[in-house]
Amino acid sequence: MTRHIAGRFGQAVVATLGVLTIVFFIMRLSGDPTLLLVPEGATAEQIAQLRHALGFDRPLLVQYGAYLLDLLRLDLGDSLVQRTPVFGLVAERIPYTVALATGALLVALGIGIPAGVMMAVWRGGLIERALAGFVLAGQSLPTFWSGILLILLFGVTLGWLPTSGVDGIASLVMPSVALGALTMSTFARMTRIAVLDELSRDYVNAARARGLSRAAVVARHVLRNAAIPVVTVAALEVGNLLAGAVIVETVFAWPGIGQLAIQSIQARDFLIVQAIVLFVSVVYVGMNLLADLAYALIDPRIRMGG
């Protein structure tokens, strides 16, 4: 078990480092940020002085090495535009994104898993066909489009919910639904497949022969055995929700790291973008590691050996 965890942790570190390396070089190939920072009409000498002060005149490999050394010291640097520590700028936005991702995950789990179970139990019936259309709609609509539709219906036409910004729990409803729609469809499809696979096994027929109702068999046995693939998907979807929050936060003017990432990319504020990527990468690989550990709790037959 310890060996397995150590191996998975090592893989997580390598994966995170790989993502950071790719983002580091891509951001620097996107353009020179000093041209956006100097005042209008600045001379070539002034631009060169600022570039030297920021360290962008050094070779890319030297800049990369300096970045890794700073990262080892847990120093994320200062924002190129706002001239304040990157850690504070990102940290004050994280709670908003976590709240949004949590709300979206609750929507996805609360609707997707029951829908998947019902689609499997009543396979071929009217309920499955109706739910299949609902799941298909959630999977097909782009996040930005579903967000705009929600704003027009519940914000503008009905006036039930705030259209943008942070204004209590009510302002979290529409962004959570827009962000969680695709994940809900994923949970519904995976749950349906997993439950159908379990319903075809012999132990289900044996339990029914002992007099257990279909609902009891599903609740007591099928759902637990079908939970492993759903846990896998849930771990992956947490990272997808954080990444997808970029679009939703822009549509709803939600002050999370997604909105900050868009603003920083437009301003070529490299250090903020790298810090956001680091946070999302750590969450993504961390959730995958937790999913591996959760397997043993769900199904004791699984042995996490070397």
User: Tell me, what's the pLDDT at 222?
Assistant: 81
pTM: 0.78
Nearest to 108 by CA among 216, 187, 206, 7: 187
Q: Is residue 87 scored above 70 in pLDDT? A: yes
Which ranges of the chain would DSSP assign to H, the alpha helix? 2-29, 34-37, 44-54, 60-72, 86-91, 94-121, 126-140, 143-150, 170-199, 202-209, 214-217, 223-225, 227-251, 257-267, 270-298
Greater model confidence, 148 or 27 = 148
CA atoms of 175 and 103, how far apart (whole Å): 8
Backbone angles phi, psi at 93, to 5 degrees: -95, -25
Q: Is residue 114 scored above 50 in pLDDT? A: yes
User: Tell me, what's the pLDDT at 151?
Assistant: 92
Q: Which domains does the chain have, with CATH numbers?
A: 1-306 (1.10.3720.10)
Kindly report the number of other CB atoms within 10 A of residue 6's CB atom: 11
Give the pLDDT mean for 137-148.
86
Q: Is residue 214 scored above 50 in pLDDT? A: yes
User: Tell me, what's the pLDDT at 245?
Assistant: 81
pLDDT tier at 177, thresholds 50, 70, 90 = very high
Give the whole-number percent of the chain exceeding pLDDT 90: 8
Find out whether 37 and 80 touch, Cβ atoms under 8 Å. yes
Residue 56: burial class (beta carbons within 10 Å; 0-12, 13-18, 19+): middle
Greater model confidence, 265 or 4 = 265
User: Tell me, what's the pLDDT at 5?
Assistant: 67
Give the whole-number percent of the chain exceeding pLDDT 70: 93
CA atoms of 167 and 170, how far apart (whole Å): 7
CA atoms of 302 and 298, how far apart (whole Å): 9
Nearest to 254 by CA among 99, 135, 83: 99
Residue 135 tokens read as: 């799941």
Tell me which range, 47-56, 152-161, 214-223, is most confidently predicted by mean pLDDT.
Answer: 152-161
CA atoms of 70 and 28, how far apart (whole Å): 17
Give the pLDDT mean for 269-276.
86
Give the pLDDT mean for 223-242.
76
Give the pLDDT mean for 197-203.
81
User: Tell me, what's the pLDDT at 4?
Assistant: 63
Kindly report the number of other CB atoms within 10 A of residue 41's CB atom: 6
Report the SS3 class of residue 221. Answer: helix
User: Tell me, what's the pLDDT at 287?
Assistant: 77
Angle of the 227-251 helix axis to the 257-267 helix axis, nearest 10: 50
Q: Is residue 141 scored above 50 in pLDDT? A: yes
CA atoms of 262 and 116, how far apart (whole Å): 35
Nearest to 112 by CA among 229, 218, 194, 192: 192
Give the pLDDT mean for 218-242.
77
User: Tell me, what's the pLDDT at 174?
Assistant: 92
Find out whether 144 and 251 touch, Cβ atoms under 8 Å. yes
Q: Is residue 306 scored above 50 in pLDDT? A: no
Paired with 78 in beta bridges are 85
User: Tell me, what's the pLDDT at 267?
Assistant: 81
Greater model confidence, 83 or 306 = 83
CA atoms of 98 and 215, how far apart (whole Å): 35
pLDDT tier at 104, thresholds 50, 70, 90 = very high
CA atoms of 103 and 87, how far apart (whole Å): 25
pLDDT tens string 26-77: 877 777 777 767 777 777 887 788 788 878 788 888 888 888 888 888 888 8
